[in-house]
Chains A and B, each alone.
Chain A
Amino acid sequence: MQDTHHKPRPLGGRILTVPVVILTVLTLVAVYYVAVRFYLGIGAVTNVNPGYPWGIWVAFDVIVGPAIGCGGFAMALLTYVLNQGKYHPLMRPALLGGLFGYTLAGVAVLIDLGRYFNAVNLMVPWYLNTNSIMVETALCVMAYVAVLWIEFSPAVLERFRLHRVREFLERYMFVIIALGVLLPTMHQSALGTILAVNETKLSPLWWTQLLPLLFLISAIAMGYSIVAFEATLVSRGFRLKSEMHLLTSIARITFWLIAIFLVLRIGVIVLNGNFGLALEPTREALLFWVETILFAGALATLATDRLRRTERYIFLSACLLLLGGTFYRLDSYLLAYVGSPGWLYFPSVPELMVTIGLVAFHVLLFILFCKYLPVLSNPPREAAKARAP
């Protein structure tokens, strides 16, 4: 518990490290293809077609991205709603991850929209179709991006010593934090609802009325996983003291979330009498098993108290769950989704490079923010050692 008393501080250090250069190059490649997309149109860059109007830019950048960026939301549930103050040190890095996850998802939407300039109409109340799930999702995401930036702003204000502004903000921060819990609940489930209204286009191995709930549970579980993933990697990479004791108690929650998810997910298929589909030699069945095994693996690596106390298994479990959650979303939005029969889709190289570039940009910003702004609060390992009796 002593560790929580450490204040977050910028890491500092050299900026132009090898990973930063590699990530910058990947980002610049994406910038080039995005420029081509805006100059020549979507068709010049992507393989999307009338049968697959949503390619990986939607399925990965917009659907998977915010789920991976759910750390801020998941940690806020724990820290503020359940009032577990001890998790506070994990809050800022989680928020930072969510911040970029969501912001870049918004950017990806603008790149993917054919008539992106019409997106401003979302802000015009009388143009809104209030029966549209997409409108709900879009508004929630836009509002949550703003909320995340405000939630994270104290880190920036601290860095530039704008204490007055910070004090003013923190007086009303509870409203923002409340919104920061409400909005993701709404739109993470809405991402499932988008598919729930598309019963005929989705295999019964994925389609169920419970899709909104399944999307929400898996998003929260992915949120905790990205926190564990990021915390283990950052403490390794930046040589900081580990936050294992916090991760262990989070792992317990993650374990139960995955368990509930799997029971609901498979239970619905069995109850609807569709489990036979999973045993047929089809592509859908293969995807279903890959996804289920990933979730089950994440569950198994957290199964005992001993495993949950071990950094390696925490990390492995986080990796498996993030992969499983990613596959769950890719399957239901792209791989097992048949919008119009007879169409083929495989992302083109430029399309892939844009997605890779966005992810690279995300990691790049995360590293730079950690170095410049007070994000991480675990003390460097050497310092901790020196203080040890």
Chain B
Amino acid sequence: MLAAQLLRATANNASQDDCTIAGMSRREFTQFCVGVAATMGLPQAMGLRMAEAATTQARPSVIWLHGQECTGCTETLLRAQHPTLETLILDLISLEYHETLNAGAGHQAEAHKKKIMEENKGKYILVTEGGTPTKDGGIYCQVGGRPHMEHVREAAEGAAAIIAIGSCAAWGGIQSAAPNPTGAESTQDIVPDKLVINIPGCPPSPYNFLSTVLHLLTFKKPPDLDDKNRPKFAYGRLIHENCERRPHFDAGRFAREFGDLGHRLGWCLYKIGCKGPETYANCPAIGFGDVGFGSWPVGTGHPCFGCTEKETAFEKPIHALAQVKTHTPPNAFPNVSGPKGWPADPVAVAVLAGIGGVLVGAGAVAASRMSGTPLKDEVEEPFDKGAPARHTAHADKTAAKGADEHDASAPES
């Protein structure tokens, strides 16, 4: 009846014999966990511990609540490829309630959620996706006749850990932007006395979420968090710091409008509103969609709009300049349309002119010493009438002598 069981039964690669975990061989799964550890900046051995933790422990139950959102976070999770993340999630954890993936519906589903929460009190993981409306008693998002706000508070009460996935749950998202008609707030605002791990992003990378879950399972505590409770391994650095277009920023090569020469040449998008310089996320490092390098907004030519930052996304206009947190581009950047390369070095000019002078001079001297008399037919000695030849230093006396000696010793064939 449950989503987890149904999906597990229908998944192609979810054979459950001893040597496969989540549709992967043990070796593949261990490699995957080591990769996750590397993403989080943990040593290799931690990856092995993660693999161990994920396979030996009883799978923790997960309650997944949807609020005001577009379900994009769930969509991105379902499209993760290494491994197919829904398989891993369902085998790694026991997904008991998820409004998009539930096989059951209505009171049946609600009753199951309630039962699981009671049975696993203090042990289950709560994941919230979407913002929570608070205006007018939170009536703008209701499930089972009760406001979302109440569902969140109720589930948070007995949760071992709370993860807010996506910008809506992490800081309110698009519906919290002014004028915020529904009074949308983040999960943290709804349960201020609990620790909520925020994985903002619109959508966030599924691997940031997965890595956080593996960390929780392995170490029984959240990963290092920043002041906005975002895992530091994913949100510790500005997009600007790891952006592949950063050299263009430093060299002053900017796209000025969409489709101009600079834009087509892949130059920096800062001047058409890229918020990379004020947005903390690891998008340039890990990309999206598992299709390789460059598969993220800036990589495809669109400015970052700062989805992980409450003050940026949906607040600043797309075209507005980012507040550069590292250093601002000075006005002294080289002009991209001016001459490039190095001008002539006076010494090099002098060397070239010297060569020219030597060549012309030597040529003239040589020509002046050559015979100016036309050759007569069958005349053996044209030089007899010419100037005496003694102009080159290496034409020393020994030349003729040496030649004679060689001649004498040369083998005559």
- A-to-B contact residues, CB < 8 Å: 7, 9-14, 17-20, 47, 49-52, 158, 161, 163, 232-233, 236-239, 241-242, 244-245, 248, 306-307, 309-312, 315-316, 319, 342-349, 351-353, 356, 367, 371, 374, 380-385, 388
Query: Looking at the complex, which one of B339, B372, B391 makes contact with A236 (CB distance below 8 Å)?
Result: B391
Chain B residues near A242 (CB, 8 Å)?
A: 382-383
Q: Does B367 contact A (CB under 8 A)?
A: yes
If A311-B371, A315-B366, A385-B381 touch, whether A238 touches B399 (CB-CB below 8 Å) is yes
Q: Does B19 contact A (CB under 8 A)?
A: no
Chain B residues near A9 (CB, 8 Å)?
A: 403, 406-407, 410
* Beta-carbon contact of B394 and A12 below 8 Å: no
Chain B residues near A315 (CB, 8 Å)?
A: 366-367, 370
Chain A residues near B351 (CB, 8 Å)?
A: 349, 352-353, 356
Q: How far, in angstroms, from A383 to B401 measured CA to CA in the complex?
A: 10
Chain A residues near B340 (CB, 8 Å)?
A: 49-51, 342-344
If A309-B374, A315-B366, A352-B351 touch, whether A13 touches B396 (CB-CB below 8 Å) is yes
Q: Does B145 contact A (CB under 8 A)?
A: no
* Beta-carbon contact of A312 and B367 below 8 Å: yes
Q: Which partner residue on chain A sits nearest B350 by CB separation?
A: A349
Q: Does B395 contact A (CB under 8 A)?
A: yes
Q: How far, in angstroms, from A307 to B370 measured CA to CA in the complex?
A: 13
If A11-B399, A309-B374, A381-B383 touch, whether A237 touches B342 (CB-CB below 8 Å) is no
Q: 24 A-B pairs, CB-CB below 8 angstroms?
A: A7-B412, A9-B403, A10-B403, A11-B402, A13-B403, A14-B396, A18-B393, A158-B411, A236-B370, A239-B400, A306-B374, A309-B375, A342-B337, A342-B339, A342-B340, A343-B339, A345-B341, A347-B352, A348-B348, A349-B351, A380-B400, A380-B404, A383-B404, A384-B380
* Beta-carbon contact of A352 and B406 below 8 Å: no
CB neighbors of A among B358-413 (8 A): 363, 366-376, 378, 380-383, 386, 389, 391-396, 398-407, 410-413
* Beta-carbon contact of B341 and A237 below 8 Å: no
Q: How far is the CB of B398 from chain A (nearest CB, A)?
A: 5
* Beta-carbon contact of B349 and A346 below 8 Å: yes
Given A12-B405, A244-B382, 11 extra CB contacts under 8 A:
A9-B407, A10-B403, A12-B403, A49-B342, A237-B394, A239-B399, A239-B400, A311-B372, A345-B342, A349-B347, A374-B410
* Beta-carbon contact of A233 and B400 below 8 Å: no
CB-CB contacts of B196-224 with A at 8 A, as 1s and 0s? 00000000000000000000000000000
Q: How far is the CB of B397 from chain A (nearest CB, A)?
A: 9
Q: Does B344 contact A (CB under 8 A)?
A: yes
Q: How far, in angstroms, from A349 to B395 measured CA to CA in the complex?
A: 32
CB-CB contacts of B43-66 with A at 8 A, as 1s and 0s? 000000000000000000000000
* Beta-carbon contact of B396 and A17 below 8 Å: yes
Q: How far, in angstroms, from A222 to B204 measured CA to CA in the complex?
A: 68
Q: Which partner residue on chain A sits nearest B336 by CB separation?
A: A342
Q: Does B9 contact A (CB under 8 A)?
A: no
Q: How far, in angstroms, from A383 to B389 measured CA to CA in the complex?
A: 16
Q: How far, in angstroms, from A82 to B367 measured CA to CA in the complex?
A: 31
Chain B residues near A232 (CB, 8 Å)?
A: 366, 370
Q: Does B330 contact A (CB under 8 A)?
A: no
Q: Which partner residue on chain A sits nearest B398 by CB separation?
A: A13
If A9-B410, A312-B367 touch, whether A49 touches B341 (CB-CB below 8 Å) is yes
Query: Looking at the complex, which one of A19, A307, A388 makes contact with B381 (CB distance below 8 Å)?
Result: A388
Q: Does B338 contact A (CB under 8 A)?
A: yes
If A9-B406, A12-B405, A310-B373 touch, whether A238 touches B395 (CB-CB below 8 Å) is yes
Q: How far is the CB of A358 from chain B (nearest CB, A)?
A: 13
CB neighbors of A among B299-348 (8 A): 337-345, 347-348
Q: How far, in angstroms, from A52 to B341 measured CA to CA in the complex?
A: 9
* Beta-carbon contact of A344 and B343 below 8 Å: yes
* Beta-carbon contact of B371 and A348 below 8 Å: no
If A237-B395, A315-B366 touch, whether A245 touches B375 (CB-CB below 8 Å) is yes
Chain A residues near B413 (CB, 8 Å)?
A: 163
Chain B residues near A10 (CB, 8 Å)?
A: 403, 406, 410
Q: How far, in angstroms, from A348 to B338 measured CA to CA in the complex?
A: 21
Q: Does B355 contact A (CB under 8 A)?
A: yes
Q: How far, in angstroms, from A233 to B341 measured CA to CA in the complex?
A: 40
* Beta-carbon contact of B406 and A12 below 8 Å: yes
Q: Which partner residue on chain A sits nearest B375 by CB separation?
A: A309
Q: How far, in angstroms, from A311 to B352 measured CA to CA in the complex?
A: 29
Chain A residues near B412 (CB, 8 Å)?
A: 7
Chain B residues near A19 (CB, 8 Å)?
A: 392-394
Q: Which partner residue on chain B sits nearest A15 by CB separation?
A: B394
Q: How far is the CB of A385 from chain B (nearest CB, A)?
A: 7
Q: How far, in angstroms, from A319 to B355 measured CA to CA in the complex?
A: 15
Q: How far is the CB of B351 from chain A (nearest CB, A)?
A: 5
Q: How far is the CB of B248 from chain A (nearest CB, A)?
A: 14
Q: How far, in angstroms, from A47 to B345 measured CA to CA in the complex?
A: 10
* Beta-carbon contact of A161 and B339 below 8 Å: no
If A20-B394, A244-B382, A388-B380 touch, whether A13 touches B402 (CB-CB below 8 Å) is yes
If A12-B399, A352-B351 touch, whether A343 touches B404 (CB-CB below 8 Å) is no
Give me the 9 closest cross-chain CB pairs, A-B, nearest first.
A12-B402, A346-B344, A17-B394, A344-B341, A309-B374, A13-B402, A13-B399, A309-B375, A312-B370
Q: How far is the CB of A384 from chain B (nearest CB, A)?
A: 7
* Beta-carbon contact of B375 and A248 below 8 Å: yes
Q: How far, in angstroms, from A233 to B370 measured CA to CA in the complex?
A: 9
Query: Looking at the complex, which one of A47, A236, A307 makes contact with B341 (CB distance below 8 Å)?
Result: A47
Q: How far is the CB of B263 from chain A (nearest CB, A)?
A: 18
Q: Name the residue among B352, B366, B368, B372 with the largest chain A CB count within 10 angstroms.
A: B366
